[in-house]
């Protein structure tokens, strides 16, 4: 659609934004939104928006980021991955390890500071380990926590762990030409295996307790949450903006052309001389890395991460958001993710008033999922292009 | 004229059905060749084997002066080495513009990273315009490929083949569903292409083949029945029996 | 009636009734009367005479004799001096006693403690009585009582039981009871017999016996204790010598010496720290500033300095510890001193190992089979909709749940579990069949050309149904109770057993397999289904209505899910989320088995069931790990066999 606006005149190097006015619109709106939230926040503004709401909005931005990643891998490249939330969760775990370790270490050092002789490194690390792992009946630091005290290392893990997992898994799956629903089921199996693995107490990530207290930022332990929440909101907005630009660039040029061609007829693309598997792997891994980053920003705002977050259902919800928003257009994914997740937290968080029909009382917590499920079926049946499709319709009418 | 592609002793079996039976066929460069044969003679399977879609049970497929073994390459590598294929059913990317379809086929580096960094150079843009003129779609460059007529899609696909600048073109029933005027245009296209490269055309339509004025290979039950000029093979009694007789 | 006359009458009665009375029946003579025949010996028992009393009691075998013997030994029997009758008693108010009749168990009179004599039994007599008690039961005419007595002995084996059991065995006529007695006698002899030869013989007799009791007895003989000594004492039955540094941690070895006060204890890290803390002066310990004491080395150095000043107990060096430990031999010794016995026991235990292993494998296979049956039941409906129609039905799990809840509702209406189960199975089929047809007509029909969107749409249905179930039935698990005849378990021996309900599910899975094979291969519907699967266009042109076939196929698949739900509900919890627990595994079963084939699903279910149980075997008690590895295996499996175990070939495979 963006393509059709190109003229037949000799092609000059054109700027990405010139080709995609929607990107400009999006960046503008995102900037305004960020400004608005900042001004209304408790930490930096007039306090009209509660800290909790700032967190919810920041988390929603992270969900929008993973949603556009999902849109690229599914809407553009045609891989219905039912496992991208696994990457999201891994990013969260990677940063969560640092948050939890570093904060516990600070607390432990403070408590040991009063003793007559200073603690040894080993005593500190043992105290930290027993503090963190007593909940799973252990007081030893698992091997994967060896560098948990190092922020650069764990930041690298945010990118590397989801990226490597996606690379290995994608290489195996695409190499053997698993496609369509088989691939979907396989990705679902991947996320199931991961969540089952993390549910075990002895895998070093605290089993079903997960990692908690992530909202306390080491080095900023005395900064109030009202300020931290806005920091994270900014970071999330920046990440979403950068992610949006990146993906808009990826899908707009010839690369976008090729991956959409792969979505529509991958055999034909092969006969054009393109290594389809390489492209799929590239897109799968890139989106996995972005998902990991989104997760790393999300969970410090949520405060807690546990293996249930990675359960297969989460990734299916992700597909639902993108489908409702309209796949194959980045802003559609953002609309879908924001709309559904905000509605969901409004309706299930008790924010919405229950409706008394006289003979029956509609309690939103009970009926929201029923509505979402059926609404989603209706969207699939009657609006396969989702809400984004409405925009197309309006644009065409003008 | 040197031999470009040499297929020798190739056989392939699907569930006990022998689709290709000890087939040997060669084509030089440049050359225009028509392949005819009744339904189930193995024409499409032959193309599948050359392009790497189907692996034969036995036999050899050798390419070019360096004698590259095509059976060891993937579909995309075979395409990159210089073999282009047009399918029986026109397969263009309907959701994308004619320009994007052609741009994708242009002979450029195919790796994900180089494609990501690609920008249309003056030369690429000129080549696209040139190709569009050749296939008669100059005024359609910005249109969705899905909006083209059937014949135009066939041309676009041939245009995409030419954009790849292959040394061998495999063309499966290019004239199917075309008006007589479109057929004439298609014939010209193929004959022009065959001046510099090898072109192999599978076709049912005898009139179309007659106009190509080229060497003809007749396939039957997965192997070559006859080869020569159209007049020569149509006089062959066996060919009359199995093919023209029906 | 004078007492002799009474006895005479009773004897006469007995004589008359003898041929009629079954041998096992106890005599009808009241216990009190029997006791009165030996009144004096009972009232003041002595070791010399108690044997005679016991003989009389055993002869008469009056009801309640066993209880009397027990209470007699426990000094709970009282004599009323006026008439010489015996009573049990219970404490009443104000130091009174309520006398209880021996035979009827009724309260007889309220007396003070001075009105009756408590019969005092000394230790020697008591042992006699207890022995007799066992003998008494072992020789009881009733076979069940004899078996019960043997069971009691096996449960708490004691050396004293050996002679009793031996004599009982010599008189035992019932083959089964004799076998059992001989086995228990072996168990006793193996552990308690006085001479080594008897013990070894008994142990040899136990070899190859895989019962828990036999293996426990052998293991008890083989129990060891860790010891150390300058050199191994004479007559020690050594199981294993431990080398410090190799199979015994040096620090542990030293700590054991320290525990025995043979060497000074070695201060640990915490002890060193505490010692340093206690000796801080002017911000330094032994001249080392405290801020430098944040490494192990610095602390040890400071400690050594303190040690040199004689303030703290010495910290042994590595060499000192080595030297101390080297003076002793560390070894595990059998508690049983007789080496012949332990050798025989080891051999006997080893000989059971193979058969125990085999039976454990059998047990594991049964577990795997039962798990495979559940997977098969859960997946087979999906195999039909996914395999035959290429439709991904994410709501399949919710159909399973729907079936289980149908079973629950039926059970609340029909209290008899057997009847309700018989009603629930077809009901569940009908309910989910209808739901499946409705889903196919309203949603799936419109999405046949868009398989990925079917996946998403049915997922929408799935979350809606799950939440609906939650709204209707609540979040807590609902019971689906199996009838009593399915409640027990079938035990092959102490190692392998399987619960009846799992056998029933296995049978159900087989029945489903056969029914499906019949429907697909022998009926018109099956023919049409196969035709539509292989070539819908051709089938339509031959007058088969693909719409109708798709509808029926989908209904069939869903209906089967419902019935599977009832079966699964019998072994698992019925919750709104139960379907979700099975859906991913069901998909994997179908994909691993090979899409579109009933046998493929069977193979997939068997493989996955066996795999999961197999992995659990290596990592017992960790079902999660087993599931993780299983999923990983499946991911790899699909790499190498993307079309599953039973792969369809040619056009039907739908490349």
The count of CB pairs under 8 A between chains A and B is: 102
| CA A285/CA A250 separation, integer angstroms | 13
Neighbouring chains of B at 3+ CB pairs within 8 Å?
A, C
Structural domain boundaries, residue B15:
2-92+166-244
How many other β-carbons are positioned within 10 Å of the β-carbon of residue C98? 16
Judging contacts by C-beta atoms under 8 Å, the chain B residues touching residue C649 are 15
Provide the shortest C-alpha distance from residue C606 to chain B (in Å). 28
Inter-chain CB proximity B115 and A258 less than 8 Å: yes
Distance from the Cα of C380 to chain B's closest Cα (Å) equals: 27
Cβ contact A117–C285 (<8 Å): yes
Dump pLDDT digits (tens) for A253-286. 889 999 999 999 888 898 888 999 999 999 999 9
User: Which tokens is B35 given?
Assistant: 């392949």
Q: Are A327 and A75 in contact (CB under 8 A)?
A: yes
> Which has the closest alpha carbon to C372: C612, C546, C190, C560?
C612
At A101, list the tokens: 């370790």
Query: How many alpha carbons lie under 13 Å from residue C456 in its C-beta half-sphere?
Result: 28
pLDDT for A9 beyond 50: no
Q: What share of chain C is helix, strand, coil (3-state, %, to 5)?
A: 65, 10, 25
Mean pLDDT of B161-165: 87
| Per-residue model confidence as pLDDT tens digits over A306-329 | 999 998 888 988 998 998 898 888
The pLDDT score that the predictor gives to residue C1 is 43
Residues in A closer than 8 angstroms to C274, CB to CB, are: none
Q: CA–CA distance from C451 to each of A14, A276, C387, C534 (Å)?
A: 38, 21, 13, 17
CATH number at residue B75: 3.40.50.300
What's the number of CA atoms in the CB half-sphere (13 Å) around residue C609?
25
Q: Give one word for C619, left, alpha or beta, with left for phi > 0 and alpha for psi -120 to 50.
A: beta
Interface contact A271-B85, CB threshold 8 A: yes
| The predicted structure's pLDDT at residue A398 | 67
- Summarised one tens digit per residue, pLDDT across range C208-260 is 788 888 888 888 888 888 888 888 888 788 888 888 878 888 888 888 888 88
- Residue C276's Cβ-side half-sphere holds a number of Cα atoms within 13 Å equal to 35
| Cβ-proximal residues to A364 (8 Å cutoff; 6+ apart), any chain | A347, A348, A352, A354
Which of A3, A15, A175, A257 would best serve as a mutation to test chain B binding (most B beta carbons within 10 A)?
A: A257
Element (H, E) at B13: strand B2-14
Query: Considering only CA atoms, which of A117, A32, A71, A79 is closest in space to residue A276?
Result: A79
Hey, which residues 335-394 in chain A have their CB within 8 Å of chain C? Answer: 366-377, 380-381, 384
- The pLDDT confidence band at residue C24, using thresholds 50, 70 and 90, is very low
Better-scored residue on pLDDT, C12 or A166: A166
Residue A250: list chain B partners with CB under 8 A: 116
Per-residue pLDDT tens digits for A348-384: 876 777 777 777 777 888 888 898 899 889 888 888 8
Examine residue B151 and state whether it is found in any structural domain, yes or no. Answer: no
Chain segment C559-573, per-residue pLDDT in tens? 999 999 998 888 888
Q: Say yes or no for a CB contact (<8 Å) between B142 and A13.
A: no
Dist. CA C328–CA C326, nearest whole Å: 5
Computed over every residue of chain C, the mean pLDDT equals 82
Could you tell me which residues come within 8 angstroms of residue B43 by beta carbon, excluding any fewer than 6 positions away?
B35, B36, B37, B172, B202, B219
B165: chain A residues, CB-CB within 8 Å: none
* Cα dihedral sign, B165-B167-B173-B176: positive
Closest by CA to B59, choosing from B111, B15, B20, B106, is B20
pLDDT interval class at C266 (50, 70, 90): confident
Contacts of A190 in chain C (CB under 8 A): 631, 635
A265 part of contact set with chain B, CB < 8 Å = yes
| Cα three-residue angle A297-A303-A308, rounded to 5 degrees | 90
Q: How far apart are CA C7 and CA C63, in angstroms?
A: 17
Q: Which residues contact A62 (CB under 8 A, 6 or more apart)?
A: A236, A239, A240, A294, A295, A297, A298, A301
The residues, ordered by sequence, that sit 6+ positions from C28 with a Cβ below 8 Å of its Cβ are: C13, C63
Which candidate in C650, C652, C655 is best for mutational testing of the B interface (most B CBs within 10 A)?
C650
Q: Do A380 and C631 touch (CB under 8 A)?
A: no
Partner A, chain C 584-613, Cβ-Cβ below 8 Å: 584, 587-588, 591
| B244: confidence class by pLDDT, cuts 50, 70, 90 | low
What is the least distance, in Å, from the CA of A248 to any CA of chain C?
A: 24
Which of B80, B85, B95, B172 should we substitute to test contact with A (largest number of A Cβ atoms within 10 Å)? B95
The answer to whether residue B56 is domain-embedded is yes
Contact between C631 and C625 (Cβ < 8 Å):
no
Neighbours of A311 (CB within 10 A): 21
pLDDT score for C157:
79
B and C: number of Cβ contacts within 8 A: 3
Tell me whether residues B116 and A275 touch, CB distance under 8 A: no
pLDDT for C27: 59
CB contact under 8 A, B103 and A258: no
Please give the pLDDT value at position B1.
61
DSSP B111: S
**Closest Cβ–Cβ partner in A3, A268, A275 for B97:** A3
Confidence of residue C585 (pLDDT cuts 50, 70, 90): confident
Assess if residue B97 is contained within a domain: no
Across the range B229-236, mean pLDDT stands at 84
SS3 category, C476:
coil
* Residues of chain B contacting A269 with CB distance shorter than 8 Å: 104
Burial C213-223 (b: 16+ CB within 10 A, else e): bbbebbeebbe
Residues of B with CB under 8 A from a CB of C: 14-15
| pLDDT for residue C174 is more than 50 | yes
Residues in chain C within 8 Å Cβ distance of A380: 447, 453, 456-457, 460
CB contact under 8 A, A381 and C446: yes
Residues above pLDDT 90, as percent of chain A? 48
- Residue A171: pLDDT band with limits 50, 70, 90: very high
Is C456's CB within 8 Å of A369's CB?
no
Residues from chain A that touch B54, judged by Cβ atoms under 8 A, are none
Contacting C residues, span 501-530, partner chain A, CB-CB under 8 Å: none
The mean pLDDT value of chain B amounts to: 85
Number of domains in chain B: 1
Number of CB pairs, chain A paired with chain C, less than 8 A apart: 153
% of chain C exceeding 70 in pLDDT: 94
Domain assignment present for B16: yes
Name residues 279-308 of chain A within 8 A of B (Cβ): 279, 282
For residue C184, give both structure tokens.
């228990």
In angstroms, what separates the C-alpha of A8 from chain C's closest C-alpha? Answer: 35
Q: Is C111 helix (H, G, I), strand (E, B) or coil?
A: strand
Q: What is the pLDDT of residue A79?
A: 93
Distance from first CA to last CA of chain B, Å, rounded?
35
pLDDT value of residue A15: 64
Distance from CA of A186 to the nearest CA of C (A): 6
- Position C546 confidence tier, pLDDT thresholds 50, 70, 90: confident
A partners (3+ CB pairs within 8 A) are B, C
**Taking CB atoms and an 8 Å limit, are A119 and C446 in contact across chains?**
no
Measured between beta carbons, which residues in chain A are less than 8 angstroms from residue C457?
376-377, 380-381
- Average pLDDT, whole number, for chain A? 88
Phi then psi for residue C244, to 5 deg, are -60, 140
Helix (H) or strand (E) holding C455: helix C451-473
Contact A128/A57 with Cβ under 8 angstroms? no
B79, B139, B144: residue with CB nearest A272: B79
Mean pLDDT of B119-145: 86
Mark yes or no for CB contact A257/B104 under 8 Å.
yes
Structure confidence by residue, pLDDT tens digits, C186-205: 888 888 888 888 888 888 88
Give the pLDDT of residue A7.
Answer: 39
Per-residue pLDDT at A240 exceeds 90: yes
Q: Closest residue of B to C648, CA-based?
A: B15
Residue B123 lies in a domain: no
Nearest to C463 among A169, A189, A372 (CB): A372
Q: Which residues in chain A touch residue C632, judged by CB atoms under 8 angstroms apart? A: 193
Q: What is the C-alpha separation between C234 and C236, in angstroms, rounded? A: 6
What does the pLDDT read at residue A211? Answer: 93
Rounded to 5, what percent of chain A is helix, strand, coil? 75, 5, 25
CB atoms within 10 A of CB B10: 25
Report d(CA B21, CA A387) in Å as an integer.
Answer: 55
Q: What is the pTM of this model?
A: 0.82
CB-CB under 8 Å, A120 with C463: no
Residue of C nearest to A79 (CA): C452
Q: For residue B53, what is the nearest residue in chain C, using CA coordinates?
A: C655
Quote ipTM for the complex: 0.87
pLDDT score of C48:
81
Burial class (CB in 10 A: 0-12, 13-18, 19+), A106: middle
- Chain B CA closest to residue A265: B93
| Residue B222 DSSP code | T
Which among A123, A176, A381 is the nearest to C639, CB-wise? Answer: A176
Q: Which of residues 591-650 of C touch B (CB under 8 A)?
A: 649-650
B35 vs A189: CA distance, rounded Å:
48
């Amino acid at each position: 659609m963006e393509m059709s606006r190109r003229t037949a005149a000799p092609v000059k190097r054109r700027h990405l934004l010139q080709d995609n006015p929607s990107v400009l619109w999006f960046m503008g709106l995102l900037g305004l939104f960020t400004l608005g939230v900042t001004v209304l926040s408790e930490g930096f503004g007039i306090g009209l928006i509660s800290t909790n709401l700032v967190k919810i909005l920041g988390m929603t931005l992270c969900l929008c980021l993973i949603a556009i990643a999902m849109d690229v891998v599914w809407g553009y490249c045609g891989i219905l991955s039912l496992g991208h939330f696994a990457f999201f969760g891994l990013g969260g775990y990677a940063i969560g390890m640092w948050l939890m370790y570093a904060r516990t270490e600070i607390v432990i050092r403070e408590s040991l500071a009063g003793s007559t002789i200073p603690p040894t490194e080993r005593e500190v690390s043992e105290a930290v380990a027993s503090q963190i792992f007593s909940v799973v009946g252990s007081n030893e630091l698992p091997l994967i926590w060896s560098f948990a005290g190092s922020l650069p290392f764990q930041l690298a893990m945010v990118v590397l762990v989801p990226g490597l997992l996606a690379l290995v898994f994608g290489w195996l799956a695409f190499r053997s030409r698993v496609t369509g629903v088989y691939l979907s089921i396989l990705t679902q199996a991947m996320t199931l295996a991961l969540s089952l693995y993390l549910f075990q107490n002895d895998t070093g990530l605290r089993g079903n307790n997960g990692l908690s207290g992530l909202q306390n930022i080491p080095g900023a332990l005395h900064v109030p949450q009202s300020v931290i929440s806005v920091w994270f909101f900014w970071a999330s907005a920046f990440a979403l903006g950068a992610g949006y630009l990146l993906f808009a660039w990826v899908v707009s040029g010839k690369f976008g052309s090729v991956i959409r061609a792969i979505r529509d007829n991958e055999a034909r693309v092969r006969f054009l001389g393109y290594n389809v598997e390489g492209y799929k792997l590239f897109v799968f891994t890139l989106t996995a890395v972005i998902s990991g980053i989104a997760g790393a920003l999300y969970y410090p705002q949520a405060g807690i991460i546990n293996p249930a977050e990675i359960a297969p259902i989460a990734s299916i919800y992700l597909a639902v958001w993108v489908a409702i928003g309209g796949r194959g257009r980045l802003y559609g994914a953002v609309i879908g993710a924001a709309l559904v997740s905000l509605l969901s937290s409004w309706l299930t968080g008790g924010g919405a008033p229950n409706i008394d029909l006289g003979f029956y009382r509609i309690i939103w917590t009970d009926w929201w999922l029923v509505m979402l499920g059926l609404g989603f079926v209706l969207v699939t049946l009657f609006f396969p292009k989702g809400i984004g499709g409405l925009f197309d319709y309006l644009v065409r009418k003008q | 004229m040197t031999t470009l592609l040499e297929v020798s002793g190739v056989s392939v079996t699907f569930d006990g059905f022998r689709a290709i039976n000890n087939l040997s066929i060669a084509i030089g460069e440049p050359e225009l060749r028509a392949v005819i044969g009744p339904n189930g003679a193995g024409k499409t399977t032959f193309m599948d084997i050359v392009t790497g879609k189907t692996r034969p049970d036995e036999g050899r497929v050798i390419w070019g002066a360096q004698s590259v073994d095509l059976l060891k390459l993937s579909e995309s590598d075979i395409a990159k080495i210089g073999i282009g294929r047009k399918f029986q059913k026109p397969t263009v990317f309907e959701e994308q513009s004619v320009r994007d379809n052609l741009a994708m086929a242009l002979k450029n580096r195919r790796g994900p990273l180089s494609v990501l960094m690609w920008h249309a150079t003056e030369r690429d843009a000129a080549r696209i315009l040139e190709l569009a003129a050749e296939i008669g779609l100059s005024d359609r460059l910005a249109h969705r490929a899905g909006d083209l007529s059937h014949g135009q899609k066939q041309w676009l696909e041939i245009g995409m083949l030419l954009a790849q600048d292959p040394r061998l073109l495999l063309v499966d029933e290019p004239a199917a569903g075309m008006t007589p005027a479109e057929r004439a245009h298609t014939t010209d296209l193929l004959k022009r292409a065959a001046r510099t490269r090898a072109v192999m055309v599978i076709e049912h339509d005898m009139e179309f083949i007659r106009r190509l004025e080229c060497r003809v290979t007749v396939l039957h039950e997965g192997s070559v029945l006859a080869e020569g000029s159209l007049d020569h093979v149509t006089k062959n009694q066996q060919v009359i029996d199995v093919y023209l007789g029906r | 009636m004078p007492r002799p006359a009474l006895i005479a009458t009773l004897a006469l009665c007995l004589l008359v009734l003898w041929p009629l009375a079954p041998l096992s029946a106890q005599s009808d003579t009241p216990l009190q009367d029997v006791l009165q025949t030996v009144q004096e010996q009972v009232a003041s028992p002595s070791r010399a005479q108690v044997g005679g009393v016991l003989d009389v009691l055993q002869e008469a075998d009056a009801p309640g004799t066993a209880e009397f013997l027990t209470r007699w030994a426990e000094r709970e029997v009282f004599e009323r001096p006026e008439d010489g009758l015996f009573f049990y008693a219970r404490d009443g108010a104000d130091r009174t006693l309520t006398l209880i009749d021996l035979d009827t168990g009724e309260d007889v009179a309220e007396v003070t403690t001075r009105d009756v004599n408590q019969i005092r039994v000394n230790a020697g007599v008591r042992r006699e009585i207890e022995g007799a008690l066992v003998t008494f039961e072992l020789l009881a005419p009733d076979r069940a009582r004899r078996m019960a007595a043997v069971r009691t002995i096996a449960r708490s084996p004691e050396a004293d039981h050996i002679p009793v059991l031996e004599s009982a065995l010599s008189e035992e006529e019932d083959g089964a009871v004799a076998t059992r007695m001989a086995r228990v006698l072996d168990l006793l002899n193996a552990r308690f017999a006085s001479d080594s030869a008897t013990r070894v013989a008994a142990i040899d007799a136990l070899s190859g016996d895989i019962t828990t009791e036999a293996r426990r007895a052998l293991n008890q003989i083989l129990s060891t204790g860790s010891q150390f000594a300058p050199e191994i004492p004479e007559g020690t039955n050594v199981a294993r010598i431990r080398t410090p540094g190799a199979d015994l941690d040096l620090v542990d070895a030293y700590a054991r010496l320290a525990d025995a006060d043979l060497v000074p204890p070695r201060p640990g890290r915490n002890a060193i720290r505490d010692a340093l803390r206690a000796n801080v002066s002017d911000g330094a310990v032994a001249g080392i500033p405290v801020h430098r004491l944040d490494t192990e080395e610095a602390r040890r150095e400071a400690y050594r300095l303190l040690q040199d000043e004689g303030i703290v107990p010495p910290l042994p060096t590595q060499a000192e510890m080595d030297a101390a430990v080297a003076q002793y031999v560390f070894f595990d010794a059998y508690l049983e001193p007789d080496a012949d016995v332990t050798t025989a026991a080891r051999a006997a235990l080893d000989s059971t190992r193979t058969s125990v292993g085999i039976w454990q494998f059998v047990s594991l296979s049964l577990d795997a089979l039962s798990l495979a049956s559940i997977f098969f039941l859960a997946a087979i409906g999906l195999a039909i909709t996914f395999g035959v129609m290429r439709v991904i039905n994410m709501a399949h799990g919710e159909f399973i749940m729907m079936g289980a809840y149908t079973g629950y509702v039926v059970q609340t209406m029909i209290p008899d579990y057997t009847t309700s189960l018989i009603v629930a199975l077809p009901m569940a089929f009908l309910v989910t069949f209808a739901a499946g047809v409705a889903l196919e007509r309203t949603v799936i029909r419109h999405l046949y050309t868009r398989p990925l969107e079917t996946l998403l749409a049915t997922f929408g249905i799935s979350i809606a149904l799950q939440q609906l179930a939650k709204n209707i039935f609540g979040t807590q698990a609902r019971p689906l109770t199996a009838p009593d005849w399915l409640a027990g378990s079938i035990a092959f021996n102490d190692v392998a057993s399987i619960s009846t309900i799992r056998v029933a599910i296995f049978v159900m899975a087989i029945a489903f397999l056969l029914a499906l094979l019949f429907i697909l291969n022998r009926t018109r519907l099956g023919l049409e289904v196969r035709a539509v699967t292989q070539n819908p266009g051709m089938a339509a042109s031959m007058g088969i209505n693909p719409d109708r076939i798709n509808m029926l196929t989908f209904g069939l698949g869903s209906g089967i899910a419902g019935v599977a739900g009832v079966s699964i509900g019998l072994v698992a919890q019925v919750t709104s989320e139960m379907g979700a627990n099975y859906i991913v595994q069901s998909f994997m079963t179908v994909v691993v088995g090979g899409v579109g084939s009933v046998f493929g699903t069977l193979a997939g279910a068997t493989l996955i069931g066996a795999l999961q149980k197999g992995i659990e075997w290596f990592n017992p008690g960790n079902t999660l790990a087993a599931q993780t590895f299983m999923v990983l295996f499946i991911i790899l499996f699909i790499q190498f066999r993307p079309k599953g175990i039973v792969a369809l070939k040619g056009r039907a495979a739908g490349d």
